[in-house]
């Protein structure tokens, strides 16, 4: 990994800015990389200030120079990953009244195609008529650099389709409505929308979510189609720390307005058959009280953490008046069993739960409260469940996969307790699950707490420390990392890598307390857990120092950024995708989209000196060490990213280079035409991943990635 003079990286100028808050003063040398007109840049990237654009383009040129010799490898990786995708794939049709709806892709197509077929007969496999294309994503995205479907919903009478599209990566969506009988797109065009939307029972009134000038979804409005584009405000969220969304209950009987932050929520209901009725407040917001609800049978069921139910309990309430004073106990709190979500049917209530870092589906028959779970076999696996469109059914659709096993989609009969396979994920280039081994182990962290670890390897790869390791983690917002199947991982695993997931604190793999133990004053546990997992792999003899690559994106980028500050000598490389690394500065800027909503997650350094000091103690950008043995680091960014702004990774890489000119190298690659999720097309995303994998292989001195002499 020697560098030639032509590969010398850009040297960002230092323009010190002094920042004083809560009695503390710090200096930021690279504050200039933040364009003060960032709101305008989100909507129109061409407005980016010239000196910032010049720097980002210089970084991209450096990235090309450093890894340009891997172009052929990247092409090979891309072709390999694409070869594992059935290009004309489709989802199993879901029935809804007279139609069955599904999504498919065409051979070579980048974007989804929304379709339906009329149901001719409700046989075991459904007898269906001719296909009708509702929305052709490839056609809609033609001649556009970026096109991402934010959400779509057909009206209850099946005559209209509403869909939301982001065409810049900024998450500002435009909603359009199509007459499915004539195929005509109506004049009702809605701008500055978030992706959530819901139809009232009259199939003419659409509820949608407005995104304000700071990128926050703050209002729900309703529009009656064909009335000249008049929008009526239904609810406006006054708290900038709360995000608002709109949806429907599982029976379709109520429009649900959900608002809240990371630890507090509030729900308002509107009868779907009376869209002009004032919203009914279910339970007034209280700091620390989280709840949501849906209908099953003739009742509402409420998932709530009230009265110290850390892992949530289930209450029930009458549909006629579900306010909190009418809640009655149904399923008590069971410490260690986290209730993640509820799905309602006419005769059943389904709970998605997490027990000991593994998902569980529990079925409750409403007539007599009898319960059972759907059994699974492997050591580590992932589950997903959907109630579908229909309420009056005994069929639950769920999917199963594991790190070695592609996804199988089942229809499960909740009465007979039998399952029917509806789809098995096809790997066109071939895949033998038995050729791989999946292990679940536990790694002791700094305080003795055992961290669950999921490991995937090819059976031919030795567990003797000679194989390189890719260690992935996330650990924030209570989002658990599933032990799932990703065909793209095989491009590293089949090259002798061991793929490892560290289920670190900050997620909810071991219940809500696992989340609480990885946030605010306890946030350091998240980073120390990942370091502990790496060290445990070394202790077991399964890995060696400098042969472990850590990978994470967004808040997972924070995880790897903080971890490499703690133990730079332990890791061989870092891949940080759109990394949230400039935490103190971002949490000190109340105008940014996610800052007020995320103060409960990280702390508010504008008002609290202890919060300021706690964040300062681990924020990756602020804790870059000087003259430390940092490994090669790749950071990616999206110019129109509203979640992790482009300047965070740009500043981080600049500071790493300034303080460690002989370490690294440090690479920044910015997508100048995308946001948080990167490229919008499914194959374009693979190209970005191929670049990251080429970096990993190069950093680990894999023969395929070595620079020619």
DSSP H or E segment with residue 297: none
Determine whether 676 is an active site residue: yes
Q: CA 290, CA 539: separation in Å to the nearest integer? A: 40
Give CA–CA dist 639/213, Å, rounded: 17
User: Tokens representing 600?
Assistant: 């409960």
Question: DSSP labels for 354-372?
Answer: EETTEEEEEEEETTT--EE
Q: CA 234, 237, 241: angle at the middle one, nearest 5?
A: 160
Tokens 């070579």 identify what position?
A: 108
- Catalytic-labelled residue, pool 265, 283, 491, 554: 554
- The residue annotated as part of the active site, out of 28, 250, 411, 641, is 641
Q: Which long-range contacts (CB under 8 A, 24 or more apart) does 445-451 make?
A: 445/505, 445/525, 445/528, 445/529, 445/532, 446/525, 446/528, 446/532, 447/525, 447/528, 449/505, 449/517, 449/525, 449/529, 451/502, 451/503, 451/504, 451/505, 451/529, 451/532, 451/533
In whole angstroms, give the CA distance from residue 77 to residue 98: 43
Phi–psi pair at 513, nearest 5 degrees: -65, -30
Residues 208, 189 contacting (CB under 8 angstroms)? no
CA 237 to chain centre: 24
DSSP per position, 65-132: HHHGGGHHHHHHHHHHHHTTS-TT-BPPPEEETTEEEEEE--TT--S-EEEEEEEEE--TT-EE---E
Nearby residues of 317 by Cβ (< 8 Å), 6 or more positions away: 293, 299, 300, 302, 323, 326, 327, 328
- The reply to whether 445 belongs to the active site is no
Ramachandran class of 578: left when φ > 0, alpha when ψ lies in -120 to 50, beta otherwise: left
550 near 635, Cβ under 8 Å?
no
Rounded Cα distance, 179 and 168, in Å:
26
Residue 456 token pair: 């995937």
Taking alpha carbons only, the member of 294, 203, 289, 211 closest to residue 247 is 294
Contacts of 677 (CB under 8 A, 6+ apart): 148, 169, 638, 685
Q: Point out the catalytic residue in the list 170, 676, 680, 702.
A: 676
**45-83 b/e with 16+ CB inside 10 Å = b?**
beebbeebbebbeebbebbeebbeebeebbeebbebbbe
245 is an active site residue:
no
Residue 457 backbone dihedrals phi, psi, to 5 degrees: -145, 155
Q: Is the peptide bond before 655 cis (omega within 30 degrees of 0)?
A: no
> What six digits make up the tokens of 402?
């594991």
Name the nearest CA neighbour of 664 among 530, 571, 527. 571
Residue linked to tokens 């001649």: 143
In order of 331, 370, 579, 657, the CA distances from 297 in angstroms are: 16, 14, 44, 61
Query: Which of 439, 441, 442, 456 lies closest to 378 in space, CA to CA?
Result: 439
List the catalytic residues.
Answer: 554, 641, 676
């Amino acid at each position: 990994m020697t560098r030639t003079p032509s590969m010398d990286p850009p040297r960002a100028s230092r323009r010190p800015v002094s920042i004083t808050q809560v009695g503390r003063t710090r200096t930021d040398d690279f504050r200039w990389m933040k364009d003060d007109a960032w709101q305008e840049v989100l909507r129109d990237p061409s407005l980016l200030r010239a000196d910032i654009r010049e720097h980002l383009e210089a970084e991209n040129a450096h990235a090309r120079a450093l890894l340009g010799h891997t172009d052929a490898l990247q092409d090979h990786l891309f072709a390999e990953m694409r070869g594992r995708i059935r290009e004309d794939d489709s989802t199993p049709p879901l029935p809804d009244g007279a139609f069955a709806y599904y999504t498919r892709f065409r051979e070579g197509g980048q974007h989804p195609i929304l379709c339906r077929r009329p149901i001719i007969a409700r046989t075991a496999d459904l007898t269906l008529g001719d296909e009708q294309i509702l929305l052709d994503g490839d056609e809609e995205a033609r001649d556009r650099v970026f096109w991402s479907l934010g959400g779509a919903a057909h009206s209850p009478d099946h005559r209209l389709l509403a869909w939301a599209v982001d065409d810049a990566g900024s998450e500002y969506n435009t909603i359009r409505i199509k007459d499915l009988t004539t195929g005509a797109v109506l004049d009702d065009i809605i701008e500055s929308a978030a992706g959530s939307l819901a139809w009232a029972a009259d199939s003419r009134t659409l509820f949608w979510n407005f995104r304000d000038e700071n990128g926050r979804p703050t209002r729900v409005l309703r529009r009656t189609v064909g009335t000249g584009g008049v929008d009526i405000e239904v609810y406006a969220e006054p708290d900038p720390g709360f995000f608002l969304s709109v949806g429907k209950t599982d029976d379709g009987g109520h429009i649900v307005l959900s608002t809240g932050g990371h630890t507090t929520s509030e729900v308002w209901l509107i009868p779907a058959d009376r869209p002009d009725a004032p919203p009914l407040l279910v339970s007034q917001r209280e700091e620390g009280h989280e709840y949501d609800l849906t209908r099953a049978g003739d009742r509402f069921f409420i998932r709530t953490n009230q009265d110290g139910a850390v892992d949530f309990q289930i209450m029930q309430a009458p549909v006629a008046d579900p306010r909190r004073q009418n809640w009655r106990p149904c399923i008590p709190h069971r410490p260690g069993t986290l209730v993640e979500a509820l799905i309602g049917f006419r005769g059943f209530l389904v709970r998605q739960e997490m027990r000991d870092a593994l998902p569980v589906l529990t079925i409750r028959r409403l007539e007599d409260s009898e319960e059972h779970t759907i059994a699974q076999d492997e050591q580590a696996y992932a589950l997903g469940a959907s109630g579908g469109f229909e309420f009056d059914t005994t069929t639950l659709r769920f999917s199963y996969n594991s790190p070695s096993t592609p996804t199988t989609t089942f229809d499960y009969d909740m009465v007979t307790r039998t399952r029917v396979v509806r789809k098995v994920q096809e790997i066109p280039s071939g895949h033998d699950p038995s050729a791989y081994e999946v292990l679940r182990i536990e790694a002791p962290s700094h305080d003795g707490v055992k961290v669950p670890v999921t490991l995937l390897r090819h059976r031919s790869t030795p567990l003797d420390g000679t194989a390189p390791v890719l260690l992935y983690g996330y650990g924030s917002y209570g989002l658990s990392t599933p032990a799932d199947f990703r065909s793209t991982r095989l491009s590293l695993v089949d090259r002798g890598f061991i793929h490892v997931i560290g289920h670190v604190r900050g997620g909810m793999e071991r219940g809500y307390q696992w989340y609480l133990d990885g946030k605010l004053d306890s946030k350091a546990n998240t980073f120390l857990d990942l370091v502990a997992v790496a060290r445990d792999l070394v202790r077991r003899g399964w890995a060696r120092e400098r042969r472990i690559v850590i990978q994470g994106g967004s808040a997972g980028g924070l995880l790897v950024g903080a971890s490499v500050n703690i133990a730079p000598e332990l890791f061989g490389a870092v891949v940080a995708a759109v990394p949230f690394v400039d935490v103190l500065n971002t949490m000190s800027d109340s105008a940014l989209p996610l800052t007020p909503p995320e103060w409960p997650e990280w702390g508010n350094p504008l008002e609290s000196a202890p919060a300021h000091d706690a964040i300062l103690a681990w924020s990756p950008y602020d804790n870059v060490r000087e003259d430390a043995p940092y490994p090669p680091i790749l950071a990616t960014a999206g110019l129109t990213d509203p979640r992790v702004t482009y300047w965070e990774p740009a500043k981080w890489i600049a500071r790493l280079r300034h303080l460690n000119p002989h370490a690294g190298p440090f690479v920044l690659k910015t997508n100048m035409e995308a946001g948080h999720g990167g490229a919008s097309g499914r194959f374009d995303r693979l190209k970005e991943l191929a670049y990251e994998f080429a970096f990993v292989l190069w950093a680990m001195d894999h023969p395929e990635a070595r620079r020619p002499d």
